[in-house]
Amino acid sequence: MELIYTEKERCRVCYTCVRDCPAKAIRIRNGQAEVITERCIGCGNCVKVCRQQAKQVYNSIPETLKLLESKKNTAAILAPSFPGEFVDYDPEQVVSMVRALGFKYVNEVAFGADLVAAQYRQLIKQNGQKSYIATTCPALVTYVKKYHPALVPYLAPIVSPMVATARALRKKYGPDLTIVFIGPCFAKKAEAQWEETGHDIDGVLTFAELRRLFELKKINGQNLPPSDFDPPYPDLGMIFPVTRGLVQTSRLSDDIIAGEVIATDGKMNFVHAIKEYEKGELQTRLLEVLCCTGCIMGPGFSQENPYFLRRTAVSKYASNRLQINRQRMSEAEWQEYSSLNLSISFEPENLDDPLPTREEIESVLRRMGKEKPEDELDCGACGYETCREHAVAILKGLAESEMCLPYTIDRLKSSLQELNLSHEQLASTRQALINAEKLASMGQLSAGIAHEINNPLGVILLYGKTMLEDCPPDSEEYQDLQMIVEQAERCKNIVSGLLNFARKNKVNLKPTNVRDLIDRCLKTIIKPDNIQIEVEHRLKTEIVEVDADQIIQVLTNLINNAIEAMPQGGAIRIQTLDHQNEWQIIVEDNGCGIPDHILPKIFEPLFTTKKEGKGTGLGLAVTYGIIKMHHGKIDVWSNADPQKGPTGTRFTITLPKQGAWQTILNSDKH
């Protein structure tokens, strides 16, 4: 039976269930918290703490309805904690409602608790100094069988009150009686399936399931006559579900000095108690351990009533019923059940759960960035008390590295850095695509403009120059004609730039000497006397594959721009650098620089900051296009603010040594 399971669509992987599972029976796999049935002890802590209600319990309602529909003699036995659940009803109303479901008999498990308490009293009295662990809590018994099998011989060989009550009722009503236990415990569903119990119980309902049955059958206690429980009637067993209930019911001494009985409860206390008992650190005749804070805080309650309200309800009920029950039960009737066989024997369950080696644990820790002991924070965010426990769980397949919060934060920081880098690269690529789209659009526009305007401009220039030659230089018409010729020349330059920009030529790659290429370029530059040009070659091999004419055009544009940026004079430095498969040309000046707000626009066609008539805004756009046709890249750095340091601009052109297509072919071969 899969007692507790996960509804995956609700699980948010918050690790709360991992932290609260004393048996560590929850595995994180593929981003889901799965309950491992063979490791689960049924304590129900994971169900109680899961705010998403992702942890669900086996539903016993359908099989209970089948039992009731079978028309067999059925008995409902209520756990003594029932007053803590039904604080909104009188006990007699609760009994009436249970009978209305179809149960012939309604009995109290508190009577079985009295029988069990007597057995514990006799066990302690007859067995000298031998020590035992109480077996009234099925989750505790399962925990010992699975995780501390060496302690199984110390489990008290006495059945739980639930089983004791079932055996008493079958003695009274016959072996064919069908019995359904109703209580606050999930683990009771598993106990009913144990081989050791001999299937004494036919069904188990939690209080929450009982409430749902009442709603399903539309049963309201206010409309039913009160009804009392069927005999046999309990005594002190009615206080059994509160902490130390077994001790008081058994009339054993829990005096701290005597140390005859040690009682504890709660999801962490019971684990520590068992571990200390196994080490021999607890010297006691009887260790009474409950996985919950008393059965009145079991996970099967439907109400969120606080602890002391439940405890008070149970105590008040016991106080009101105690004298009445003692008057109704004779000594002879008590003796009738004293001969019942309430013994049970337990066998350990081998989980085959070997511990990993120290080397394996440290390997996992290193994988999570825990190189030194001080890196093991033991923060508990993963659900395990220590980093080493978490590493062991990873090796057993129960956990994942991502459950470690510091490790996940470090990975997140690293991912953010990578994401920022990718974002910057994406932004650069996006800008390049925008520029490419603009260049393509302008190319189409330029081709049309060039063809339509070039011929009329030639005619205007021809006639303008002819008329200018025939006109006296000192005449007023001469100045007008001169203006016409100048503006027509300007239009021709713009059209010429557009034609260069719109060229669809493929690059004509040829082996070229870089030193000769730069020398040819410098010979075409008209350099003012106050400008110095310095060339430095740092290439191991000066032969590269480029389209020489186009690279000269690129250098010409960059050098002319540098000259215009230094009207008061300055220096231009040209460098060639060598890399493995690439080479670079750097053109750097100490001019006025380019302002930051203009820098992103410099490669846009027709964008210029020069005065009217001094520039077309196509030089850098053409440069950008040529470099891209060579499958290279061009980067620019500039500072126009003297307060930040020396002003100036640096263009860095990176090109493949063997030409774009040869580089691609070589990379494909490798």
Residue-wise pLDDT tens digits, 19-61: 888 888 888 887 788 898 988 999 999 999 888 888 999 999 9
Across 202-225, average pLDDT: 93
Per-residue pLDDT, 67 = 92
Task: Return the pLDDT at 668.
Answer: 47
User: Helix (H, G, I), strand (E, B), or coil: what is residue 436?
Assistant: helix
Between strands 633-639 and 648-656, the pairing is: antiparallel
> Per-residue pLDDT for 667 more than 50?
no
Q: CA 428 from chain center: how many Å?
A: 31
pLDDT, position 356: 81
SS3 call for 298: coil
Question: What average pLDDT does this structure show over 592-612?
Answer: 77
User: Look-up: residue for tokens 């350099």?
Assistant: 527
Give the model's confidence band at 513: pLDDT under 50 very low, under 70 low, under 90 confident, else very high.
very high
**Residue 669's pLDDT band (cuts 50, 70, 90):** very low
Q: Which residues contact 304 (CB under 8 A, 6 or more apart)?
A: none
Residue 617, pLDDT > 90, answer no
What was the pLDDT predicted at 609? 66
| Confidence category of residue 664, pLDDT binned at 50, 70, 90 | very low
What does each C-alpha distance from 267 to 41, 292, 397, 516 come to in angstroms?
12, 6, 23, 85
More confident residue, 350 or 663: 350
Residue 613: is its pLDDT beyond 70?
A: no
d(CA 96, CA 92) in angstroms, rounded, equals: 6
- pTM (predicted TM-score): 0.63
pLDDT at residue 222, rounded to an integer: 85
For the domain covering 505-670, report its CATH number: 3.30.565.10
Instruction: Tell me the CATH number for domain 1-58.
Output: 3.30.70.20
Residues 345-354, mean pLDDT to the nearest whole number: 82
| Residue 531 pLDDT grade (very low, low, confident, very high; cuts 50, 70, 90) | very high
| Window from 348-357, 419-428, 459-468 with minimum mean pLDDT | 348-357
196-210, 319-333, 529-543, 588-602, range with the lowest pLDDT:
319-333
Interval 588-611 mean pLDDT? 81
Mean of the per-residue pLDDT values of the chain: 85
Consecutive H or E run containing 647: none
Q: Which of 285-299, 354-368, 624-638 has the lowest mean pLDDT?
A: 354-368
Per residue in 374-393, pLDDT (tens digit) is 888 877 777 777 888 888 88
Per-residue model confidence as pLDDT tens digits over 74-91: 999 999 999 999 998 999
Residue 647 has pLDDT above 70, yes or no: yes
What is the 8-class DSSP label of residue 228?
P
For the chain, the structural domain boundaries read 1-58, 59-298+307-338, 357-403, 505-670
Share of the chain above pLDDT 70, in %: 90
